[in-house]
Amino acid sequence: MFGQKIIDMRFDVVTLFPDLIKDALDHGITGRAMKENQLTLKTWNPRDFTNNKTGRVDDKPYGGGPGMVMESEPLIKAIKKAKQSSNSSHVVYLSPQGQKFNQKRAEEFLQHRKIILLSGRYEGIDERVIESEVDEICSVGDFVVSGGEIPALLVIDAVCRLEKGVLGDPDSASQDSFSDGLLEFPQYTRPDSNEFGEVPDVLLGGNHSEIAKWRLKESLRRTFKLRPDLLKKKVLTNQEKVLISEIKSEENS
């Protein structure tokens, strides 16, 4: 709506390792976004919300089994404090059990504007935290890492670069891989010729329509060869269907 103030993008991260989050994001695109007040980041350590004098926030799982489980009380208190500070946020728990995070999910996360990311450790977190505070569970892939901090960094970086004004060139995000359901086309820079190869002639000719066609075809070719599963999900235009046919013919010749 015209005249409506855009809410600043904000991430609150509940983590046992706040320095890991802050130090990693203090560089590059995210670091610049924070310096220019396009992104607000705050961390919350569950150890600050435990009654245990030693700062312990985990215990053995009921029913037995290996490892430790993060306790519900310090986590829930940290989340509630983050909610108060950020004025009603969407809570996402980083776990391999969640819905797969991808470019589409990054675009959806951007619309929330304020997100609390819950980074677990050890064997996981008490289920009561999920039942009472978590809005959704998010996975960055079908593999297991030691904690939710690195997945949280991936989510923040992927979402942050979609924020208007964060990238130097506004067209950069729209040309990223997955933005249109395809992998990005090959990129080249100067010199146009060296001992390692040649830049395709079409990129040197200045014909923008031919360059656009070449880039689309090479995006399709790369996706066809490396991620054919993406093509199965994509509704192809007539031009893309023609180019795919050309690519298949070229690959089989």
Q: Where are the domains of the chain?
A: 9-160, 177-252
Superfamily of domain 177-252: tRNA(m1g37)methyltransferase, domain 2 (1.10.1270.20)
215, 216, 218, 219 alpha-carbon torsion, rounded to 10°:
110
In one-letter notation, the amino acid at residue 148 is G
* Digitized pLDDT (tens) for each residue of the chain, 253 residues in all: 334 444 589 999 999 999 999 999 999 999 999 999 999 999 999 999 999 989 999 999 999 999 999 999 999 999 999 999 998 789 999 999 999 999 999 999 999 999 999 999 999 999 999 999 999 999 999 999 999 999 999 999 999 999 988 986 555 555 555 557 899 999 999 999 999 999 999 999 999 999 999 999 999 999 999 999 999 999 999 999 999 999 999 999 7
Contact indicator for 15, 49 with CB cutoff of 8 Å = no
For the whole model, what pTM was predicted?
A: 0.86
**Tell me, what DSSP letter sits at residue 47?**
G
Topology of the domain covering 9-160? Alpha/beta knot (3.40.1280)
Active site residues: 96, 123, 161, 176
Contact indicator for 190, 141 with CB cutoff of 8 Å = no
